[in-house]
Structures are given as C-alpha cells and as structure tokens.
Chains A and B, each alone.
Chain A
Amino acid sequence: MPNYQEARQALLSLVDKDKFDKMMLTAAIITEQLEPLGIKPIIVGGLSVEIYTMNGYTTYDIDFVLNGYETASQVLEQLEFRKIGKDYVHPVIGVTLEIPSNTLTGDYDKVTEVPVGDRKVYVIGIEDIILDRLRSAVHWQSGVDREWGFRMLLMYYEDIDFDYIRSQLQGSKEELEFELWMSEASNEKDGIES
C-alpha cells in the first residue's frame, strides 16, 4: 500500500534543492509509489539527456513513459500534483511532469536503472535517446538535438550497441545522418589516438 503522506512530505522537502536534484528526487519518489502498483515509469526526453550527460543539458520537465496512465494520474493527484491539460505541475516545488506515451519508443531491455539515494529511477536506453535526438535532427532540423545526440554518442561510444541503432533507423535520411555522426566520431577518436 503506497504511503502517500510520507511521499508528499518527501516532495515538499525538495523545495530548496537545485533543479537537477529536485527533478531526480521527484522522479524517484514517483517511481517508488508506482512500482508496487505494477507501473514502471521510464524517464525519456530532456531529463534523460541531462542524466546521461550529467547536468550538461538543461530541461524543465520530467517526461515519463508508463503503462497504467489512469492509476498513475490518481497517484500524482494524491501527491498533490495539479493537472494542466495533459501535464502535471507540483505547485510548491515547481516541477512539471508529462506522460507523453504509454509505450517506450525503444527497447525495454536497454533501459538503465539509476539509483537515487535509497530510491531509483529508470531511464530510456542510451541507444534509444541517441536515436530520439537523431530523429529530431532529421525531422525537425534541430541543430541543438543533433549536437546532444552526437555528444552522447561520443561519451558512451565503447558501450553503445551500434547494430541495434542501425536496425532501428528508418529511411535513408536517418541512415545518412547516423553514418555522418559515426564518421565524425571516428575522425575525432583517430585524432586523439594518433
């Protein structure tokens, strides 16, 4: 049985934390409340970029992909989040939260578990967030997302499942863009190693 009172207090205690800590701890508290109900929220979007780059990127909301939207919505209301359209805002700590989808655009096996104190959060796999930024670059012509995707590719180069990324690319524009990133990354690495 979730302990909403304790969770509400834990959320209120975050009011003076810095933005990243506040968002991480909020996500961890919500995860702790939802998991016993069979709901596994996975952080996607900007916060996942911020986690993988450790504060390099700045985002202002938490995007969760989760099954069981109705139950999650009830839990968020119990935790004193206010619903604004499809988004939720905690009026005291100033954290906004969105549930853009109930299915992950990506592989559940590649999700990363990140401990946050005694709690934890789940984050979309590194390959899938790179794919997300790459698609944003290709389809929205977003130079910023392109750069963050490339940065994560470099940071996690040795651990990335490139076969998986290539298997997920859709269409020649995405394939071309990814191979360009790979070529740039390879050039940079050769420059360092030579």
Chain B
Amino acid sequence: MRRLTLEQIEARRNDRANFVNQAVVHFRAKSMQQGWKMKRTRPRTEDEIRALNDVARRTLQKALKEGTVVYDRERRVLILAKLSGGKTSSFKSR
C-alpha cells in the first residue's frame, strides 16, 4: 500500500501548478474544439439527488437562522447578509 500525506500532495500540486494548469488549459481548448462539453454529464442516482437536496435545504435553513443569508422582501430574493446593505430577513424557514 502507498502512503501519501496531505502535505506531500499539496507540495506536489504547488510544485507543478504552472505546468499542470497550462497543460490543462491547452487540453481543454482542444477538447472544446473537438466538441467535448465541459459540464457534468454523468447522471446522479435518485437517492443521491435526495440526499444532496436534503443537505442543501439544511445548509440554507442554517444560514437563514444564523443570518448569513437574508431574504430581501423588496426584490424577493435571498442574498448574502454581507451584501444586503443591512436589510434584515423576514423569511421564516420551516
């Protein structure tokens, strides 16, 4: 079995960042010319969708409760509190 620490992986990533990023940019450009789509095409299972929805719902409810996300009544949108200009939430999460 191999053994790698996160520090070793990070050092490897940092050492090669320029070369790898540049090579990947070239590869992406060629891929797109060849018609590859740069979006997720592998389908998620129904259970995976339900589980991820559950986590997303809880994350939003927690953010609303903590006030990091607020509901702007005038614009009827949810926004990050730090961008809300002091508006407070009237959104009641269930």
Asked if A pairs with B, the answer is yes
Q: Which of B50-78 contact A (CB under 8 A)?
A: 50-52, 54-55, 58-59, 62
Given the known interface contacts A141-B36, A142-B40, A188-B23, the answer about A89 and B55 at a Cβ–Cβ threshold of 8 Å is yes
Interface residue? B92 (CB, 8 A): no
Chain A positions within 8 Å of B59 at CB level: 94
Neighbour of A94 across the interface among B12, B37, B42, B58, CB < 8 A: B58
Render A67-96 as a binary contact track against B, CB cut-off 8 A, 1 for contact: 000000000000000001111110100111
Q: How far is the CA of A51 from the CA of B5 in the complex (A)?
A: 10
Expressed in whole angstroms, the Cα–Cα distance for A187 and B10 within the complex equals 25
Interface: A32 (CB within 8 A):
no
- Residues 98-136 of chain A, each 1 if its beta carbon lies under 8 Å from chain B, else 0: 100000000001111111100000000100000000001
Q: How far is the CB of B32 from chain A (nearest CB, A)?
A: 7
Q: Is A143 an interface residue (CB 8 A)?
A: yes
- Are A141 and B41 within 8 A (Cβ)? yes
Q: Which of A51, A56, A111, A144 has the most CB of B within 10 A?
A: A144
B4 to chain A, nearest CB (A): 5
Say yes or no for B38: interface residue by CB 8 A criterion: yes
Given contacts A87-B48, A184-B30, 19 further A-B contacts (CB under 8 A): A54-B6, A60-B55, A85-B45, A85-B47, A89-B55, A110-B2, A111-B2, A116-B6, A142-B42, A143-B31, A144-B41, A147-B24, A147-B28, A151-B20, A151-B24, A154-B19, A154-B20, A154-B23, A154-B24
Q: Would you list 18 pairs from A and B whose C-beta atoms are within 8 A, ordered by A residue? A: A52-B9, A56-B13, A61-B48, A86-B45, A87-B47, A96-B51, A98-B47, A110-B2, A113-B3, A114-B3, A114-B4, A136-B42, A143-B31, A143-B32, A143-B37, A144-B38, A184-B23, A188-B19
